[in-house]
Amino acid sequence: MSDNKYTLAPTEPPPAYEDASQKSPPPPTGTSPKPPTLRAPLPLSLPSLNALRNQRVILASASPRRKTLLAQLGLPNVTISPCPLPENLPKTLSPFEYVLQTALQKCMNVYKTEINNTSAGEPALVLAADTIVVSHSGDILEKPRSEKEHIGMLKTLRDEGDHRVFTAVAVMAPLESARDPGYALETVVEETIVRFDSAVTDDLILAYVKTREGADKAGGYGIQGIGAILVERIEGAFDNVVGLPLRATLKLIEKVTAPEEDIEEAFAEEEEE
C-alpha cells in the first residue's frame, strides 16, 4: 500500500445552494508520484460527427454533465449558451409533455438568437435537453430549492419505491434550402425507472444532502457520483438519468444533419401520415 498523505475532511458548513454548481478548488498535491495517465479513447468516426467537429455546435444548457457527455460522444468543443427563459410550464401537463415542451422551448429560443449572430456565424447544430424526476405518486421533481426540501425529496423517493426519470432532447440544424421553416428539428423523450434502496437511512440521506452534490440536479441526486449509494437498481439507460441519453441523441444528430434530400423525403412521408 502506498504512503499517500490524506487531508482531514473540512469542518466548515457545506456551500449554499446557489453555490453548489461551482467547482471546488483542486486538493493539495501529495508527495507520492502521480500514476500514469491513461490515454483517452479516440473519438467516434461517424460522418455526422466528423462533419460537426470543425463547425459551431451549441449546447443550450449550462449543465457540465451534458457537456461532458457530448465530449464522450465526440463533440468536445461545443459552445455553451443557456436559454434565459424560466422553466415555468404548468405542472398539470403530463411528464412527457412537460419535459418535451421545456426542451423545445430552450432549443428554439437559443436557435433563434444564434441564427442571427453575425459575429460568430450561424450554428451548424443547436442541442437542448431537459431532465425531470417523477415520483411514484406522479409529482414532477426538479432541483431542490432548500436543504429541507432536498431531504424531503430524497425521503419521498426512498419511501415510495420506483420513480421515473424523463429526459427530452431537441436538436435543430439550419437548412440551405428555402423549405419552410428553414431548419430541421428532431426530438426524443427517454424514460428510465430508478429504485432507491429502501434500507437507506435518514442519516445517510442527511449526509448525502450535506455534500451538496445533488443540489443542482433534478430529483436531488447524481447517479454518476456519490448519489449512486442511494440507488438499488435501474431499468433503462444510465446516461438518461445523468441528463443526456447518448444513443438517442446520436440518432437525432444523424437525422438533422442528413443530406437535405433525405430530410425532404422524410418530411414528405410525415405529411402523408
Could you give the residue numbers annotated as active site? 130
Cite the beta strand spans of the chain per DSSP E.
57-59, 79-80, 125-134, 140-141, 162-174, 183-196, 231-235
b/e string for 6-24 if b means 16 or more Cβ within 10 A?
eeeeeeeeeeebeebeeee
Contacts of 165 (CB under 8 A, 6+ apart): 131, 132, 133, 134, 191, 192, 193, 194, 218, 219, 236, 240, 241
Q: Which residue has the cell 433563434?
A: 112
Within 13 Å, how many C-alpha atoms sit on residue 55's CB side? 14
H or E stretch at 238: helix 238-242
Which of 153, 173, 198 has its CA nearest to residue 256? 173
CB 223 within 8 Å of CB 238: yes
How far is residue 242's CA from residue 73's CA, in Å, rounded to a whole number? 14
Which of 129, 159, 131 has its CA nearest to residue 220? 131
* Bridge partners for 164 per DSSP: 134, 193
Which of 166, 185, 175, 178 has its CA nearest to residue 253? 185
